[in-house]
Structure 1
Amino acid sequence: MNTKGAKWMITVSPNAADRIKKIQDETKASDKSVRIAVVGGGCSGPQYQMGFDVSYDGDSTFQTNGVTVVVDNQSLPLLDGTEIDYVDGAHGSTFVFNNPNTIKSGGNGGCGCGKSGC
């Protein structure tokens, strides 16, 4: 459920929701929402920030799979349609942002500029 207009949508997969709830319990942050933000980006696309926080005036709030997500109004259009997932891989486990608004550069989806930090 989106509390500020039905235009925007962000979802959390069941795997990500389970992991978020576990972290909330471990860190005693069960009374906080999950804040998602876009914090710049390089030629490989946006960088995401995720942490526990309270909701402020102007934030949009989403309820998905038992998790409350808050997003500031500047990040919201950049995150529309994003699904946050949690995956286990050969190199560890991580949250993954499946954002349909990003375009990957380079032949294999990576940065081709030669600079670090992109």
Structure 2
Amino acid sequence: MMEVTPAASEALKAVMAEKNLEPPIRIFLQSGCSGSQLAMGVDQARDGDDTYDVDGISYVIEAKLAEVVGDMKLDYLTDAEQQGFMLSSSKPLPQPESSSCGSCSSCGC
């Protein structure tokens, strides 16, 4: 399941209109020195994707990843500490077992 808050839907529609982008929006797992996080970008649907249509916007995610992360929520934060899109999941995100770069500073993060 994909939940999109009204604030996120409005902000995403504004960004897409400003940058002349067309859905679908792909949800994917992005790994970095501080672990894994959900991210999003414009992409095409592929075989094996789950598709969610919410408030006129299509979202796609690999079916296998959807099983791993569970229910997802897209919100848009506008408080004093954070501003921007926030993707969360109902299950813990998979983390890499080890890093090939001893420390974050050696990765160039």
Task: Report if the CA contact (8 A) 1:45-1:102 is conserved.
Answer: no
Structure 2 CA distance for aligned equivalents of residues 95 and 39 of structure 1:
15
Q: 2:62 matched to 1:72?
A: yes
Q: TM-score, normalised by structure 2?
A: 0.73
Q: Give the superposed CA RMSD.
A: 2.3
Task: Report if the CA contact (8 A) 2:28-2:39 is conserved.
Answer: yes
| Alignment correspondent of 1:84 | 74
Q: TM-score, normalised by structure 1?
A: 0.68
Structure 2 spans left out of the alignment, 5+ residues: 94-102
Q: What letter corresponds to residue 20 of structure 2 in structure 1?
A: K
Structure 1 CA distance for aligned equivalents of residues 24 and 16 of structure 2:
9
The count of corresponding residues between Structure 1 and Structure 2 is 96
* Runs ≥4 residues deviating over 6 A: none
| Alignment correspondent of 2:90 | 100
Q: What letter corresponds to residue 16 of structure 2 in structure 1?
A: Q
Once the two structures are superposed, residues 59-108 of structure 1 have per-residue CA deviations (whole angstroms, 9 ceiling, x without a partner) of 110011222100013321233211110010214411112322128xxxxx
Provide the secondary structure at the position in 2 that maps to 1:74: helix
The aligned runs of 1:1-118 (5 Å cut-off) are 9-29=1-21, 31-40=22-31, 46-102=36-92, 116=104
Q: What letter corresponds to residue 7 of structure 2 in structure 1?
A: N
Superposition deviation, residue 24 in structure 1:
0.8
Higher helix share: 2
